[in-house]
Structure 1
């Protein structure tokens, strides 16, 4: 029974890594870490709305995460000071979500599952959802890869090449919202941004091209999932945070390997 739980959890983490690897690379390149936090924190509000309206949790989190991402992207395009704006939106969305969820007594005891994930409870339907969402994100990023790279490198160059930076920003916004929706059960709202950033930042130490960084980030995410689950079983620690701890350890190892390599 435990072997089945671990196997499903490992497949869930691998599917999530398929999306967070390349998307996390763009989050690192564009310095969108706080953007990812704001979108992920809004997912808790999506949970509350889904419960209130008797909708699927994934649908509620997707709608709210997308709304938050579009709001932040719209404010950024208008020149708002994003550090303060993102801080206000991120923490406000999380607080509103926590207050709203507390109105449902049956959910209070399970609140940690939404905040930190509960990957060991992933079922067969959840696996289809995670892999379907991850495949959608991966396909979207592969389709727009060159345009996204150009817009990330230089917006003036993108305009000169007939590429709309605003459109490519929208692609990333949609991809981020989908990842948040499918990742909520795996690592939780508070750790989604870490799963996006840490494997990509680790891969940057060892990569020589954007493509190799994205692929290596996928691999590091999968390894971190496997190691984190083993740590969780060995030390009886929460699975979601254990995965992030494993990812942080891999980041340190990649940094050390990069320095030794020179």
Structure 2
């Protein structure tokens, strides 16, 4: 019964993160913001170190630092900086400072691997509540701003003409991304969050004819990856977070192979 209980919590946690990450991942793919997600996720480790140092909530620390990083990147993006270089510097610096900061904490027992690669099997009822509350907030944000976000993504000029401020929509995405990072850290860890954002959305792209369809299919793929990865890791005795990403990658490979085969058949026919 206890085994069933922790597996059920793990499955619900995986589904919660999938619901939050996949629709947002579609915007990350459309806007080519993959490195942006990485930088935000890496900042979360610094947030964890600060939260432990000041004896506050790890979730609050990860969320605060993710927000700081995401806001800093959004602000710098319009200032003429080479974004790939700037993101690389910020992402790896935040991760390094976080890891060094953790090493100075005395008397604190910290499973660093759990924060880097996730520990979905250790999710508590409290963690579950935080994950689903975060997922609900992210979904509410995306539903509320969906049309404006789409317009700003397709064409900033069209957005301006429609009375939409592209910078404001970028800020909405920034907030949603920071929330996803904070809730996903327990499930897949900071080094794999970007993969869970991008891989399901990338797999959904060839199967979609509309943005809404892509977001829905990405969510289904992310949910299947979470549940499939959980089952596979339990049976194969492998780390759960990386296994979830491996399942997503296999689905992506399958979709790409199927899409290439279908194109070949159509061309030959």
Could you give the per-residue CA deviations for residues 42-89 of structure 1, whole angstroms, max 9, x where no partner exists? Answer: 000000000011110000011000000000000002121001100000
Partner in structure 2 of residue 96 of structure 1: 97
The Cα shift of 1:109 comes to 5.4
Tell me the equivalent position of 1:176. Answer: 177
Residue 127 of structure 1 pairs with residue 152 of structure 2: no
Residue 84 of structure 2: aligned partner: 83
Matches within 5 A, 1:36-185: 36-105=37-106, 107=108, 110-185=111-186
Task: Work out the CA distance in 2 between the residues paired with 1:73 and 1:205.
Answer: 29
Q: Look up the match of 1:219.
A: 220
Higher CA-based Rg: 2
Number of residues paired by the alignment?
Answer: 262
Length-normalised TM-score, structure 1: 0.98
What are the superposed Cα offsets for residues 2-61 of structure 1, whole Å, 9 maximum, x if unpaired? 222221111101111111111000000000000000000000000000001111000001
Match of residue 191 from structure 1:
192
> Take 1:13 and 1:217, find their aligned partners in 2: how far apart are those partners?
14
Structure 2 length normalisation: TM-score? 0.95
Secondary structure in structure 1 of the residue aligned to 2:7: helix
CA distance, structure 2, for counterparts of residue 74 and residue 127 of structure 1: 33
Asked whether the equivalents of residues 101 and 108 of structure 1 are also in contact (C-alpha less than 8 Å), the reply is: no
Aligned counterparts of 1:59 and 1:107: Cα–Cα separation in 2: 18
Unaligned segments of structure 1, at least 5 residues: none
Contact 1:46–1:97 (Cα < 8 Å) also in 2? yes
Aligned to 2:9: 8
Alignment check: 8 A CA contact 1:119 1:240 kept: yes
- Specify whether residues 215 and 176 from structure 1 end up closer, same or farther in structure 2 by C-alpha distance, changes over 3 A only: same
Equivalent position of 1:33 in the other structure: 34
Determine if the alignment matches structure 1 residue 240 to structure 2 residue 233.
no
The root-mean-square deviation of aligned C-alpha atoms, in Å, is 1.1
Cα-to-partner distance string for 1:212-255 (whole Å, 9 max, x where unaligned): 00011111001001111111111111100010001100101111
- Report the 3-state secondary structure (helix = DSSP H, G, I; strand = E; otherwise coil) of the residue aligned with 1:67: helix
Over 6 Å off, 4+ runs: none
